[in-house]
Amino acid sequence: MPAEKALKSERLFACELPGAYATPPSPRKGCPPRGVTHTASATALEDSGVAKCEFTGKSQMSGNLVSHSNRKSRTVRKANIRSKRIFDPEKGIFVRVNVSARALRTLSRKGLSALSKNR
C-alpha cells in the first residue's frame, strides 16, 4: 500500500517533463505554466487546409445562423474554391492553382499572365 502511494506521488505530469516548455514547470499540478498556450504555431496555421484562392485571396468566413426566434449560432461560410490545372504559355507547363469561381471566370477572360501580375 505505501508503495502505491509513492508511485502516485512520483508520477510526472506532461507540463513537468524536462524540455516540455521554455518556462519552468508550474506549481499547479496537471496544468501548463501561466502564459503558455497550447495553440498551433504560425506555420501550422498556414498549412491548416483552409481553401484559399491564390488570385483573389477569398477563403472561408464565419457568421451567424439566425433562427426565426432570433437565436444565433455560429457557422462557417465556405468560398467556392476549386483546384485547377491551368496551362502557362510563358513557361510552357501546366500549373495547379487553387482558384475561386469568380477568379476562374476572370481567368478565362484575361488569361493567367494578367491575373498573376496582380498577385
Domain parsing of the chain, residue ranges: 1-38, 51-118
**Residue 11 confidence (pLDDT):** 58
pLDDT at 89 over 70: yes
**Residue 36 confidence (pLDDT):** 59
- Closest Cα to residue 17, out of 38, 34, 36, 32? 32
pLDDT at 70 over 50: yes
If one compares 20 and 101, the residue with the highest pLDDT of the two is 101
**Identity of the residue numbered 113:** S
If one compares 12 and 49, the residue with the highest pLDDT of the two is 49
Using CA atoms, how far apart are residues 37 and 28, in angstroms rounded to an integer?
A: 15
If one compares 114 and 2, the residue with the highest pLDDT of the two is 114
Helix (H, G, I), strand (E, B) or coil at 110: helix
Look-up of cell digits 519552468: 24
Q: Which class would CATH give 51-118?
A: mainly beta
